[in-house]
Amino acid sequence: MASMFTRVLSGRNTAVIMAGLGAGTLVSSYIMMTESGVSAGEKKKLYPPSADYPDLRKHNNCLASALTPAVYGQLRDKLTPNNWSLDQCIQTGVDNPGHPFIKTVGMVAGDEESYEVFAEIFNPVIKDRHNGYDPTTMKHPTDLDSSKITSGMFDENYVLSSRVRTGRSIRGLSLPPACTRAERREVERVVVQGLSGLKDDLAGKYYSLTEMTEQEQQQLIDDHFLFDKPVSPLLTCAGMARDWPDARGIWHNNEKTFLIWINEEDHTRVISMEKGGNMKRVFERFCRGLKEVERLIQERGWEFMWNERLGYILTCPSNLGTGLRAGVHVRLPLLSKDSRFNKILDNLRLQKRGTGGVDTAAVGDTFDISNLDRLGKSEVELVQCVIDGVNYLIDCEKKLEKSQDISIPPPVAQSKK
């Protein structure tokens, strides 16, 4: 494994030098040019960036808000060391104009270096999505010390389940929009090998999508663990569903409280969950599990993508920083009908979703309530925010049950340092 890693590194270094010499032109022309037809490098010169500039006039996403012809002109011919281009980063945003009410991000990274090479467009997009977080001046705090959490036990008359999820990327391998089949299989190998070292309450088993039996599939569906081939055009246009279901799979511990998705929208998605309201325990397992997995892959010379400006590096800029979504399924029959509900959520920096997850509607009076922020605040801060916020919501619900009045809380400080 480590020797593959060094080989990969040296391959990339060569490409870095070549890319540095003449943007994409040299890199593409150092492969054979046949006599018929025009080479890729020459082709590019026939079409100035203005000819290729996307028509974003009807678009409503962070990419469209930030991209200008000048920035496109500067970045179009650049390539990351893995030969990933700007057009490939933005294809999903060009293909999906967005919704007047929901502002999607509109671009993805193909590798860790995308955030660097295309910083001129990623930085304003990150700023837009993450409440003014400026990667050029700010640092992101990482804190996975779950002992700092207080009041992490909810009233189970209201909270039905608790869950914390994040993502992790394996440094040195391209991300889902860009990865080759071999890289994707490498991610699977590295992670599954690491997970096989987990013990005690974390010990578990891997179910590859290509090899699982009918029975295993049914069980995973019943447990609500199975993920499907993405159908959202936001994901398919970014190339994340290529070669499905090759090298995709689900790992979970025997107790079904710690779950990892491999090669879905990110290299890994890590989920800790359980029925009931013990968020502190969920988060404790989350932190412990993550640290264990990290230690196990480091033993073999691998590590997670992370830096002090952007925190954990994931495919979508919306998941940078902590990549963390901590949430509960909570019953709020009275509060959810109160006209102040949305304002209360806003001020608590919380977000509501239906119990089917993102872009679903609530069923009955049960909502999925989770943190809005991802970047600029640590994991501990965000989970504490959810705990304090949900406790406040339950308090409101109880007050309304007794026909007492509730008040809108003051806004929680935004993630600015």
The residue ranges that bind other proteins (CB under 8 A) are: 7-8, 11-12, 15, 24, 27-28, 31-34, 36-40, 43-44, 47-48, 51-55, 58, 79, 82-85, 87-88, 91, 94-95, 174, 178, 180-183, 185-186, 210, 236-237, 241-244, 246
353 belongs to an annotated ligand binding site: yes
- Of 100 and 364, nearer to other proteins (C-beta) is 100
- Residue 380 is labelled as binding a ligand: no
The minimum distance between CB 273 and other proteins, in angstroms, equals: 31
Task: Establish whether 165 is an annotated binding residue.
Answer: yes
Q: How far is the CB of 12 from other proteins (least distance, A)?
A: 7
Cα 99 from Cα 59, distance rounded (Å): 8
* Nearest CA among 62, 67, 55, 54 for reference residue 104: 62
Nearer to other proteins by Cβ, of 86 and 259: the residue is: 86
Report the nearest approach of other proteins to the CB of residue 341 (Å): 37
Which CA distances in Å does 249 have to 106, 123, 206, 210, 383? 26, 32, 7, 8, 27
The residue (of 54 and 197) whose beta carbon lies closer to other proteins is: 54
Separation between Cα atoms, residue 89 and residue 78, nearest integer Å: 12
SS3 379: helix
Q: How far is CA 89 from the centre of its chain?
A: 15
**Residues 187, 181: Cα–Cα separation, whole Å:** 10
Smallest distance, other proteins to C-beta of residue 362, A: 29
Closest to other proteins by CB, 52 or 255 = 52
| Nearest CB to other proteins, comparing residues 37 and 364 | 37
CA distance 333 to 213: 41
CB 150 within 8 A of CB 384: yes
The least distance separating other proteins from the CB of residue 24, rounded to whole angstroms, comes to 6
Known binding residue 357? Answer is yes
Nearer to other proteins, 97 or 197 (CB): 97
Q: Annotation-wise, does 288 bind a ligand?
A: no
CB 218, min distance to other proteins, A: 19
Are the C-beta atoms of 206 and 187 separated by less than 8 Å? no
Nearer to other proteins, 305 or 390 (CB): 305
163 is in an annotated binding site: yes
311 is in an annotated binding site: no
3-class secondary-structure state, position 44: helix
Q: How far apart are CA 186 and CA 181, in angstroms?
A: 9
Query: Is 7 annotated as a binding-site member?
Result: no
Instruction: State the nearest-atom distance from the C-beta of 59 to other proteins, in Å.
Output: 11
Alpha carbon separation from 136 to 117, 124, 140, 326 (Å, rounded): 14, 10, 11, 27
What's the min distance (Å) between Cβ of 79 and other proteins? 7
Q: What is the DSSP string of 280-345?
A: HHHHHHHHHHHHHHHHHHHTTT--B-EETTTEE--SSGGG-BT--EEEEEEE-TTGGGSTTHHHHH
Q: What angle do CA 57, 60, 62 make, to 5 degrees?
A: 110
Q: Which is nearer to other proteins, 95 or 155 (CB)?
A: 95
What are the structure tokens assigned to 95, written together? 């293909």
Annotated binding site for ATP: 161-165, 224, 269, 325-329, 353-358
Annotated binding site: 161-165, 224, 269, 325-329, 353-358
